[in-house]
A = this chain, B = another copy of it.
């Protein structure tokens, strides 16, 4: 199983450089591009939700949304259900950019995955889905992670 973790670590490192290059090309930061593509698939979202997803504080997301809104990629709409909160949505221009960003990524992933048979591909999708959920929930449980880090030290 450790095999997977090693490979995945390499994918993450490579992704860092990849996303950095792409973000620079479109004149945005890496978190901003992440937000754009996420909105494309998930629909309108609240700032705090985006903050958790990207792993930064709400204050930082405010600044990132300011930049995205200034560039005309997103709009902030008030949420009729809860007027404390805000819903961030893509503009047509933002949707176009997000679509291009994802299409680029999609093609590179397809090239990287190569010619796997459909059954394996489906299984791979299922595994990745589990994995993202696991990492996502772990990222929020600071105490548990701290404990596990300690435990590794004593092992």
Q: Is A80 an interface residue (CB 8 A)?
A: no
The stretch among A63-71, A81-89, A98-106 that forms the contact with chain B is: A98-106
**Contact among B8, B121, B148 with A109 in the assembled complex (CB-CB below 8 Å):** B8
**Contact among B17, B38, B54, B116 with A127 in the assembled complex (CB-CB below 8 Å):** B116
Q: Is A16 an interface residue (CB 8 A)?
A: yes
In the bound assembly, the distance between CA atoms of A149 and B122 in angstroms comes to 27
**Proximity string of chain A (109-133) to chain B, C-beta cutoff 8 Å, 1 when within and 0 when not:** 1111110100011111101111111
Q: Given the known A-B contacts A37-B9, A100-B149, A100-B153, are A132 and B14 also in contact in the complex, defined by CB atoms under 8 Å?
A: yes
Residues 1 to 42 of chain A near chain B (Cβ within 8 Å): 1-22, 25-26, 31, 34, 37-38, 41
